[in-house]
């Protein structure tokens, strides 16, 4: 059993009964001890009759190191007493539980034991609002209880592995915890759970644990408390604690006011009784307009309201009992509601009528002037945003390169084409912004993206990045048409891609189209070509940062277009700039990036490998249920490959469409992309080349016979396109000719 530390909370652990009386305290009673005021009903001269309301309110004034200080029971120093709030602040002792290296055991230290238990008749209760049971340490479990056998039991737990776990100012369990306490606590004790033994390593940097009930507002945790004695050295091992006090001889004001024995404590004629907020009992306050001591006859004195609540500056104030009276100069009338002196309308009606027209003109002029000022301010703000986002750089470049296909839109233009960003125009919402549909110049449909936020670094580099992105011209990358820079967060304008995403084709609303596996393989190849362009041919190279199937859009002919560059970064020129934090998508994130925060082109390769798994298995990248391996599609696939059981994860309709040679090759490519080490993953160019090779496996002679038969059944007339053949059969429309079958499907001729 641990040693129980009987904390002698002198202000609350008082067992003595008391019976308050109505006698007036003697003028000989001292009302100050050192710098602390001792107002009645408290007293520091118990030998002089009636210096306090009752024995429970007696304090002692002691001299320590030449300074007078008030104490309760000669143990706990009183800091201050409040009559209006009904509180007493004292210094409470910290209890420590320390490891003794010589005895290899835990030992208590601090002031404890030898204090009588309190009783419900004590005026004091531990404040449940202002105090917290505070425990400090790296292996501490402390118990606070208010009775040896039954009653309240509260635990405080503080733990940590090492000093690096600790955060200054944080007291939520790591190195420090604070527990709320209930009402009606007039006695408590504390004990530590002995769970640290000689085999523990924690004591080497945390030799002591601490526990104390203290004022929450006066505490801020410091990591230095763990490996030093700094916390215990505060005020000789003491910290502030707050008690709620009240007259406890009656349960409430209703009972006290009906008392006929002369024990009612609110003696001032201008006082009011207030029920205690912590257990039974009551306190006294002066009524509104009075201040002072309500426990003394005539203790509540009238407040000079002219000082506390003055009248208007152009009026006159006269103090009255319990209030004040205001008056105004001739021609004005006082308004109690607004505390102002207003013109007397009975005297100025004629003047008001004559000046009404002039006032209207003045108001119109002022309003018009304000409108002009606000318009100028708005224009200045837009110009500042334009400058911050690199607008001047863009305009200079557009002047020098007339062929730059990039438009800088005004805010008004984009508001108009989106019907003021009406909800009916919303195409979707991503991690970086909301996307709206609009028709911009020359009747071009566009996707208008309002970004959520841009940091200061992005603001400075925005113009340069827009120039780079605007020059990317690849059939498998969504074209950036322009942007708006005169707003706080820039707005991007992309080409509109109408047929949804690859994610919807595999998992979502377009799944009912029953797209063939070869078509999905072709879309994956096109997406890889687009990412390869970003990595290898953009100058400087661009890392996408959020590659996923929902960011691969499909145009009218279901050709892949890589989109959403909200998480992209330009490949940095030095290693210090190479470390960045990017918002990605769970299930696609490179595990190596999660460990190092180092985004590389191989991070995009890993995410693309997850897309290949979606095509092969038809499953989502991440599930919310099941074991860790079952939740992660990557782990499930790699486990199947390790067990040589690829067939178990393949989607059923894929097995019947393609040869195992093709599926095995695609699975092997996905496995290489998902390698835990980025250095072992292929380049995106190698991925694109391998996908191109695998697509050719779909056009062996024995396959093409069935394809041509099926294609002929689909060719009802001349309107049938190569796209329709490919969408239905899953095979390229024409492998032998470099020319497209028709203009609309030119990019399908490989």
Q: Per residue in 666-676, pLDDT tens? A: 999 999 999 99
Q: Measure the CA–CA gap between 530 and 538, rounded to whole angstroms.
A: 11
* Residue with tokens 């200061």, as numbered in its chain: 456
| Three-state SS at 701 | helix
Half-sphere exposure in the Cβ direction for 10 (13 Å, CA): 21
Mind telling me the catalytic residues?
A: 546
pLDDT at 709 over 70: no
Tokens of 594: 């999660």
pLDDT at site 227? 82
Residues carrying CATH 3.30.200.20, the chain: 391-495
**What average pLDDT does range 734-739 have in this prediction?**
36
Dump the DSSP string for 164-210: GG--TT--BSBSEEEE---S-----EEEE-----TT-SGGGT--EEE
Q: Measure the CA–CA gap between 86 and 685, rounded to whole angstroms.
A: 77
Residue 721: count of CB within 10 angstroms of its CB: 19
Percentage of residues of the chain with pLDDT beyond 70 = 75
pLDDT at site 741? 31
**What average pLDDT does range 711-715 have in this prediction?**
34
Q: What is the CATH number of domain 500-573+598-698?
A: 1.10.510.10
Q: pLDDT of 318-358, one tens digit each?
A: 887 767 788 887 778 788 787 888 877 765 666 666 677 77
Q: Measure the CA–CA gap between 152 and 146, rounded to whole angstroms.
A: 6
Tokens of 176: 């420090």
Percentage of residues of the chain with pLDDT beyond 90 = 29
521 — pLDDT class (breaks 50, 70, 90): very high
The answer as to CATH 3.30.200.20 being correct for domain 391-495 is yes
Helical packing angle, 660-673 and 601-617, nearest 10°: 150
With the CA atoms of 97, 101, 105 and 108 taken in that order, what torsion angle do they form, in degrees rounded to the nearest 10?
-20
N-terminal to C-terminal alpha carbon distance within the chain: 82
**What average pLDDT does range 479-485 have in this prediction?**
82
Q: Measure the CA–CA gap between 328 and 517, rounded to whole angstroms.
A: 90
pLDDT at site 40? 93
**What average pLDDT does range 637-659 have in this prediction?**
85
- The dihedral built from the CA positions of residue 344, 349, 355 and 356, taken in this order, carries a sign that is positive
pLDDT at 246 over 90: yes
Q: Measure the CA–CA gap between 450 and 284, rounded to whole angstroms.
A: 60
Q: pLDDT of 360-374, one tens digit each?
A: 788 888 777 777 766
Q: Measure the CA–CA gap between 17 and 35, rounded to whole angstroms.
A: 29
Let me know: does 526 contact 560? Beta carbons within 8 Å: yes
Q: pLDDT of 380-415, one tens digit each?
A: 555 555 555 555 555 555 555 555 566 878 888 899
φ, ψ for residue 230, nearest 5 deg: -60, -45
Lowest mean pLDDT among 50-54, 77-81, 639-643, 738-742: 738-742
pLDDT at site 659? 83
Helical packing angle, 456-470 and 345-388, nearest 10°: 50
pLDDT at site 177? 96
φ, ψ for residue 134, nearest 5 deg: -105, 130
* Residue with tokens 């010589």, as numbered in its chain: 102
pLDDT at site 72? 78
What secondary structure, in 3-state letters, does 621-633 show? CECCCCCHHHHEH
Tokens of 96: 């420590």
pLDDT at site 449? 84
pLDDT at site 4? 36
pLDDT at site 609? 95
Q: pLDDT of 427-467, one tens digit each?
A: 887 666 788 999 988 888 998 888 766 666 555 556 556 66
Helix (H) or strand (E) holding 529: helix 517-536
**What average pLDDT does range 39-58 have in this prediction?**
89
Lowest mean pLDDT among 268-277, 292-301, 352-361: 352-361
Scored b (16 or more CB within 10 A) or e, 470-501 reads bebebebbbbbbbbbbbbeebbbbbbbbebbb
pLDDT at site 686? 95
pLDDT at site 213? 92
**What average pLDDT does range 12-31 have in this prediction?**
59
- 412 CB-near residues (< 8 Å, 6+ apart): none
Let me know: does 327 contact 339? Beta carbons within 8 Å: no
**What average pLDDT does range 36-63 have in this prediction?**
90
The DSSP secondary-structure symbol of 443 reads: G
- 351 CB-near residues (< 8 Å, 6+ apart): none
Residues carrying CATH 1.10.510.10, the chain: 500-573+598-698
3, 374, 332: which is closest to 192 by C-alpha?
3
pLDDT at site 714? 32
What is the CA 203 to chain-centroid distance, rounded? 34
pLDDT at 737 over 70: no
538, 535, 530: which is closest to 602 by C-alpha?
535
pLDDT at site 599? 85
Output Rg (C-alpha) for the chain, integer angstroms: 40
Let me know: does 407 contact 493? Beta carbons within 8 Å: yes
693 — pLDDT class (breaks 50, 70, 90): very high
Select the highest-mean-pLDDT range: 134-148, 457-471, 735-749: 134-148
Q: Measure the CA–CA gap between 678 and 300, rounded to whole angstroms.
A: 80
**What average pLDDT does range 506-534 have in this prediction?**
86
What secondary structure, in 3-state letters, does 484-515 show? ECCCCCCEEEEECCCCCEHHHHHCCCCHHHCC
Residue 259: count of CB within 10 angstroms of its CB: 12
Q: Measure the CA–CA gap between 337 and 317, rounded to whole angstroms.
A: 16
Q: Measure the CA–CA gap between 216 and 234, rounded to whole angstroms.
A: 15
pLDDT at site 380? 59
Q: How does the average pLDDT of the chain come out, rounded? A: 78
pLDDT at site 690? 94
Q: 697, exposed or middle or buried, with CB in 10 Å at 0-12, 13-18, 19+? A: middle
pLDDT at site 705? 35
pLDDT at 252 over 60: yes
pLDDT at site 197? 53
Q: Measure the CA–CA gap between 33 and 332, rounded to whole angstroms.
A: 53
pLDDT at 491 over 70: yes
pLDDT at 574 over 70: no
283 — pLDDT class (breaks 50, 70, 90): very high
551, 513, 549, 532: which is closest to 726 by C-alpha?
513
């Amino acid at each position: 059993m641990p040693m129980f530390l009987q904390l002698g909370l002198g202000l609350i652990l008082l067992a003595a009964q008391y019976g308050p009386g109505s006698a007036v305290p003697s003028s000989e009673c001292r009302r100050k001890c050192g710098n602390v005021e001792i107002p009645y009903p408290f007293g520091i001269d118990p030998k002089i009759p009636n210096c306090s309301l009752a024995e429970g309110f007696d304090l002692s004034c002691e001299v320590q190191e030449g300074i007078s200080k008030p104490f309760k029971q000669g143990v706990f120093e009183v800091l201050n007493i409040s009559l209006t709030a009904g509180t007493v602040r004292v210094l409470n002792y910290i209890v420590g539980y320390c490891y003794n290296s010589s005895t290899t055991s835990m030992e208590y230290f601090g002031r404890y034991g030898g204090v009588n238990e309190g009783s419900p008749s004590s005026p004091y209760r531990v404040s449940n609002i202002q105090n917290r049971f505070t425990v400090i340490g790296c292996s501490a479990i402390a118990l606070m209880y208010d009775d040896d056998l039954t009653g309240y039991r509260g635990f405080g737990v503080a733990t940590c592995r090492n000093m690096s776990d600790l955060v200054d100012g944080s007291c939520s369990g790591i190195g420090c915890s604070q527990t709320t306490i209930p009402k009606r606590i007039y006695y408590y004790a504390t004990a530590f759970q002995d769970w640290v033994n000689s085999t523990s390593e924690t004591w080497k940097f945390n030799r002591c644990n601490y526990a104390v009930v203290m004022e929450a507002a006066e505490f801020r945790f410091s990591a230095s408390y763990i490996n030093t004695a700094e916390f215990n050295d505060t005020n000789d091992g003491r910290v502030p604690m707050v008690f709620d006090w009240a007259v406890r001889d009656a349960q409430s004001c209703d009972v006290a006011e009906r008392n006929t024995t002369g024990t009612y404590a609110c003696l001032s004629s201008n006082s009011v009784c207030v029920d205690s907020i912590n257990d039974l009992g009551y306190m006294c306050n002066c009524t509104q307009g009075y201040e002072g001591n309500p426990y003394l006859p005539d203790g509540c004195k009238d407040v000079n309201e002219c000082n506390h609540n003055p009248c208007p500056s152009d009026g006159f104030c006269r103090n009255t009992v319990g209030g004040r009276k205001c008056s105004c100069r001739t021609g004005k009338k006082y308004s109690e509601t607004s505390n102002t002196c207003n013109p007397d309308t009975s005297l100025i009606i004629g003047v008001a009528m004559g000046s009404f027209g002039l006032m209207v003109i003045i108001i119109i002029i002022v309003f018009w002037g304000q409108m002009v000022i606000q318009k100028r301010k708005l224009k200045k703000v837009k110009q500042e945003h334009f400058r911050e986002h690199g607008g001047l750089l863009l305009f200079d470049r557009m002047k020098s390169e007339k062929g730059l296909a990039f438009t800088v839109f005004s805010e008004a233009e984009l508001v108009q084409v989106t019907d003021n960003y009406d909800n009916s125009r919303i195409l979707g919402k991503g991690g970086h912004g909301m996307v709206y549909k609009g028709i911009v110049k020359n009747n071009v449909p566009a996707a208008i993206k309002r970004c959520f936020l841009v940091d200061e670094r992005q603001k400075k580099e925005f113009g340069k990045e827009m120039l780079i992105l605007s020059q990317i011209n690849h059939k498998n990358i969504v074209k950036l048409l322009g942007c708006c820079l005169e707003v706080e967060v820039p707005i991007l304008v992309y080409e509109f891609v109408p047929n949804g995403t690859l994610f919807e084709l595999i998992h979502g609303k377009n799944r009912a189209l029953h797209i063939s596996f070869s078509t999905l393989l072709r879309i994956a190849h096109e997406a890889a070509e687009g990412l390869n362009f970003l990595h290898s041919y953009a100058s400087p190279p661009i890392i996408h940062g959020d590659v996923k199937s929902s960011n691969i859009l499909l145009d009218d002919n279901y050709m892949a277009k890589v989109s959403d560059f909200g998480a992209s970064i330009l490949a940095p020129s030095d290693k210090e700039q190479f470390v960045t934090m990017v918002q990605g998508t769970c299930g696609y994130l490179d595990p190596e990036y999660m460990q190092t925060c180092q985004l590389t082109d191989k991070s995009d390769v890993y995410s693309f490998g997850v897309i290949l798994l979606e095509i092969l298995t038809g499953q989502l990248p991440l599930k919310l249920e099941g074991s860790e391996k079952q939740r992660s599609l990557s782990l499930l696939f790699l486990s199947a490959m390790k067990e040589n059981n690829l067939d178990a994860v393949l989607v059923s309709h894929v097995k019947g469409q393609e040869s195992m040679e093709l599926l095995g090759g695609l699975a092997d490519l996905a496995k290489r992309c998902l390698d835990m080490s980025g250095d072992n993953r292929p380049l995106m160019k190698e991925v694109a080349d391998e996908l191109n090779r695998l697509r050719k496996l779909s056009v062996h002679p024995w396959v093409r016979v069935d394809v041509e038969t099926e294609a002929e059944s689909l060719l009802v007339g001349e309107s049938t396109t190569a796209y329709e053949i490919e969408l239905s059969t899953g095979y390229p429309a024409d492998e032998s000719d470099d020319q497209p079958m028709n203009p609309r499907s030119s990019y399908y001729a490989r």
